[in-house]
Structure 1
Amino acid sequence: MTYRYRMATVFLLGFFIDCINIFMPVVALPRITAELGASNASSAWVGNAYILGLTLVIPLSPWLAGRWGARRMLTASMLAFSLAVWACGQAASFEQLLGWRLVQGMAGGLLIPVGQAMAFNLFQGEERARVSTLVMAVALIAPALSPMLGGMIVDHSSWRWVFHANIPLSLLAAALCWCWVRDAPAQALSPTSVTTRLSAPLRPDIWGLLLISAALACALLGMSLYGAGQEGVTVLLCLAAGAVFGGLYLRHGRQTDNAIVDLRLLKSPRLRVSILVYYAVPGIFTGVNLLNIFYLQDSLQLRAETTGMFMLVYACGALVAMVLGGRVYGRMGAPRLFLTGMLLHSLGIACLVMVDSTADMGMLVAAYGLMGLGGGMGANTAQTTALLDFDGQDTHQASVLWNINRQMAFSVGAAALLMVFNLLLHRMDMVRAYRLTFALAALAGLAPILQLRTLRPQKAFYA
């Protein structure tokens, strides 16, 4: 195996581990909250804590890789990840679980942007689109298998093994990082390659990191508290603080040459629209799927294993969409594929509105099939399109921005829909609250349509 495919393998394995740690614990949330005495509304923080850990450390990854060397940093990150998932499975309280999920996210977040940038810089032109297809294949396999496997673990053992099961994979990733990854300058391909630039790292933008982390944490906390039924000053203060920190970071980013997240890259319509679509499709799906798991298990009394198997239907639809989308990307173009994906995805969510008993299995299959078709097409097109305008070090900076938003899309989608659901629950019965939340989610999934007209063939937008 050539070096570039070894590097791609390391990145894809890390990406797979990241994906299963987003989707596998979801199916166990009803058992986790019941055993540890947490509310359903608080359950989203099992995911949010992991996402916040990723968000906190992803911008620091290029500096750490340059200071310690990519090989040592990536290996250490996977070893720390192994320790964190073991501790998650040993948690004696909900607070302990959230704390270790934060550490787990911080450990995992070191591999993804560095690995993606290093792998993508080894593939140019159309070859990069092929790597994007492999990335989406991993993003398809992980959500397909992990909920079903997680459901089997929960039904036949304990939710704790949902976390312990990650240890062999993370140890394998650590071994491959140590054996395969090369440090700069040995793997430098050009004077502008990411590895060359990583060999002389700039001082990290700690102030910017604190501002953007505080903004995201306050916004998620405010939405979660409101969704849990708390109203008044506390919620308003959290949301206001999030807006203030966000505004401070925008000003800081304009005045700093090495801002932790380079927002100037959003001048690229391809990256900007891809980010919006990721919030509208995978992000909203994360929230819809989380709510539907509680609905199916708590209201319709389906087993966790049965609930998880619907993701296989989703995966089949996503696989078909991914293969077709990859073949026609050049002929149809990103705007048409984005539009088709969003329409199919929202139609699938709308099907969930009509599910009210275990007799509606056909409608559930149709819903997950359509969501899979739309999700696979939308996400694959976004992954292929997002970084097309960048190369060299700009690929790394764009990868940081892309991965932060990709992770936050999952967390924001879950927090926002839980907030909407719990708000509606105060005004109507549970079944009607689920249905109306799904209907609103279907509409929200179409929000980026007006931005598609900005996608025109252009070269560089980030200068």
Structure 2
Amino acid sequence: MTQQASLVEYGARRVIITITAIFCALLEIVDTTIVNVALNDMRGNLGATMSEIGWVVTAYAIGNVIIIPMTSWLAQQFGRRNYFAVSIIMFTVASFLCGNASTLWELVLFRFIQGVGGGALLVTSQTIITESYPPEKRGMAQAIYGLGVIIGPTLGPPLGGYIIDHSSWPNIFYINIPIGIIATLLTLQFVRSPKYAEKKAANEIDWWGIAFLAAAVGALQYVLERGQEDDWFNDSTITILTVVSVLGFFFFVWRELVYKNPIVELRVLKNGNLRIGTILSFIMGFGLYGSTFVLPLYTQGLMGWTATQSGLLMLPAALMTAFMMPLIGKMLEKGIPQPYLIAAGMISFFVYSFWGYKIISPDTGKPDFFWMLIVRGVGLGLLFIPITAMSLSSLKGVQIGQGAAFTGMMRQLGGSFGIALITTFVSRRNELHRMDLVSKLDTNNPVVMDRVHSMQANFIHKGMDASTALKSAYQSLEYTVIKQQTVLSYMDVFLYLGILFLIFVPIVLLVKSNKKAGKLDASAMH
């Protein structure tokens, strides 16, 4: 039996390994979104400004995105089981420290460490699950892993909302500790490492590659997270870090192509399927995190829902995706070409976005969102597994881990770009729609003045004097304008997000399908 074949597990052992890996992936992803609903409580508790508290999210994302491309190399250096176990321990200890933090910058530092530990969990758990299943079951393995990745961002807000409503913010970190301890023990007991080539001596390690990569992606993530808030290139820090990011990527690519032991093997991108897969992973991250970001903002900011209500709205879509996963795994195993499934997913996502564009208004109720979000759930199910299967289908040996690292990093960066662009886009569209709406509110227009006088009379009826009532009427009109401009901006977000996915449908259909997608060759594993 070859080393590759020996990594396949059967029976209870495979079930335990699969559950361990999914829990680790879930831990990482839930923690990306769970803090969003707790930022307000943290801000009050730690005496931070709104701008400063944003660092709690930014630090985690930077730690995450720096480590993801290095995971394959680190697994080779230390052995995959050891690296995975150390990452879980780092994540768990950092979770405890986050909950215990007494100042903002302590919390930011521990969130960065948590992000570094968490980045490894995502990619390594994908490789572990893939290699634990025999070749003919690999489509199903990707389906099982996909459950964690798709449901994770959705579980974060309602879980965080529930904890904040019924307890205090440190508990959103403490819930990771028991899961982390169990996952560490199960990993050390059951997960096995493939046999790698000899470890590199310290003087052969690509330290410059590590430095260039950390500078490039760390600076890029900062620019994306903070750009809109700091007014983009009008801020000197954003400008400097953009230059650092561009130069960092340039020198990183040069270094990896000339150094004999690169930290990230860029040559793996010669594989056509992986190249297409990384681009599609970026687009999927854009849509997944972008739409997960938009809806809570809209429902909480404009419609006054609580964090728990807003999070629960997304659950039916997540359950729909969970229902779809095994079905799509089976379709792949039966040889249905991945481009057809991906194109169907893109079209579903377009339908979801266009539906959102048509129905959102200040009066949209919870039932109006239901079927629209079910379509989103179907779309994400159709996208995730076929994209992952296509990306990794023709890779061999150690390239599987390298390919998983590329698709993982691009999905994360796609999410960061999506959130940064949507935030900027909403801000710009707000200004445009405001100018347009205000231009129609002419004080010489009798219809407008009738509305103002009607509201003034209403306020006088409630006991205000004429002058205060008039001021309140104008304030009320201003609030209506703000509400209307925000609705129009979110309508635009839905429309353009849908168009983006529609544009990619013909491109995806031109990709050659790999018939072995669901049945990866046994030699294609570490």
- Compute the TM-score of the two structures, normalised by the length of structure 1: 0.86
Pairing 1:451–2:507 present: yes
**Which of 437, 445, 448 in structure 1 is aligned with 2:493?**
437
Offset at 1:228? 0.9
Q: Which amino acid aligns with 2:222?
A: L
Secondary structure of the residue aligned to 1:28 is helix
CA distance in 2, matches of 1:301, 1:37: 25
Pairing 1:134–2:135 present: no
CA distance in 2, matches of 1:287, 1:31: 24
**Which of 319, 324, 349 in structure 1 is aligned with 2:322?**
319
CA distance in 2, matches of 1:197, 1:454: 33
**Which of 4, 26, 35 in structure 1 is aligned with 2:36?**
26
Give the direction of change, closer, same or farther, for the CA distance of 1:294–1:47 in structure 2 (3 Å limit): same
Unaligned runs of 5+ in 2: 1-10, 435-484
CA distance in 1, matches of 2:486, 2:199: 56
CA distance in 1, matches of 2:50, 2:505: 33
CA distance in 1, matches of 2:20, 2:198: 20
Offset at 1:22? 2.1
Secondary structure of the residue aligned to 2:293 is helix
Count of residues paired in the alignment? 450
Offset at 1:343? 1.6
Offset at 1:275? 2.2
Q: Give matches, 1:290-301, under 5 Å.
A: 290-301=293-304
Give 1 or 2 for the bigger CA radius of gyration. 2
Give the corresponding residue for 1:306: 309
Give the corresponding residue for 1:389: 394
Give the corresponding residue for 2:253: 250
RMSD: 3.0
Q: Is the 8 A contact 2:318 2:377 kept in 1?
A: yes
Offset at 1:150? 2.0
CA distance in 1, matches of 2:58, 2:311: 20
Give the corresponding residue for 2:462: none
Pairing 1:274–2:331 present: no
Q: Is the 8 A contact 1:220 1:415 kept in 2?
A: no
Give the corresponding residue for 2:463: none
CA distance in 1, matches of 2:217, 2:182: 32
Farther off after superposition, 390-399 or 61-70: 61-70
Give the direction of change, closer, same or farther, for the CA distance of 1:40–1:17 in structure 2 (3 Å limit): same
**Which of 356, 363, 366 in structure 2 is aligned with 1:352?**
356
Give the direction of change, closer, same or farther, for the CA distance of 1:433–1:129 in structure 2 (3 Å limit): same
Give the direction of change, closer, same or farther, for the CA distance of 1:56–1:226 in structure 2 (3 Å limit): closer
CA distance in 2, matches of 1:120, 1:324: 17
Q: Which amino acid aligns with 2:368?
A: M
Q: Give matches, 1:121-270, under 5 Å.
A: 121-183=131-193, 195-197=194-196, 200-201=199-200, 203-230=204-231, 231-232=233-234, 234=236, 235-270=238-273
Q: Is the 8 A contact 2:63 2:112 kept in 1?
A: yes
Give the corresponding residue for 1:188: none
Offset at 1:211? 1.7
Give the direction of change, closer, same or farther, for the CA distance of 1:206–1:6 in structure 2 (3 Å limit): farther
Give the direction of change, closer, same or farther, for the CA distance of 1:419–1:242 in structure 2 (3 Å limit): farther
Pairing 1:341–2:345 present: yes
Show structure 1 runs of 4+ deviating over 6 A: 37-44
Give the direction of change, closer, same or farther, for the CA distance of 1:109–1:289 in structure 2 (3 Å limit): closer
Q: Is the 8 A contact 2:163 2:172 kept in 1?
A: yes
Give the direction of change, closer, same or farther, for the CA distance of 1:419–1:98 in structure 2 (3 Å limit): farther
Farther off after superposition, 276-285 or 302-311: 276-285
CA distance in 2, matches of 1:2, 1:360: 45
Give the corresponding residue for 1:186: none
Give the direction of change, closer, same or farther, for the CA distance of 1:279–1:67 in structure 2 (3 Å limit): closer
Q: Is the 8 A contact 2:281 2:407 kept in 1?
A: no
**Which of 399, 405, 421 in structure 2 is aligned with 1:400?**
405
CA distance in 2, matches of 1:27, 1:403: 25
CA distance in 1, matches of 2:503, 2:220: 20
Secondary structure of the residue aligned to 2:127 is helix
CA distance in 2, matches of 1:68, 1:217: 24
Offset at 1:6? 4.3
Give the direction of change, closer, same or farther, for the CA distance of 1:295–1:92 in structure 2 (3 Å limit): farther
CA distance in 1, matches of 2:302, 2:200: 53
Q: Give matches, 1:5-20, under 5 Å.
A: 5-20=15-30
Q: Give matches, 1:408-447, under 5 Å.
A: 408-427=413-432, 428=434, 429-447=485-503
Give the direction of change, closer, same or farther, for the CA distance of 1:199–1:251 in structure 2 (3 Å limit): closer
Q: Is the 8 A contact 1:321 1:376 kept in 2?
A: yes
Q: Which amino acid aligns with 1:319?
A: A
CA distance in 2, matches of 1:207, 1:108: 23
Give the corresponding residue for 2:440: none
CA distance in 1, matches of 2:217, 2:401: 22
Q: Which amino acid aligns with 2:211?
A: L
Give a deviation string over 1:233-260, Cα, whole Å, max 9, x none. Answer: 5233333332222222222232234322
- Compute the TM-score of the two structures, normalised by the length of structure 2: 0.77
Q: Which amino acid aligns with 1:327?
A: K
Offset at 1:156? 1.9
Give the corresponding residue for 2:454: none
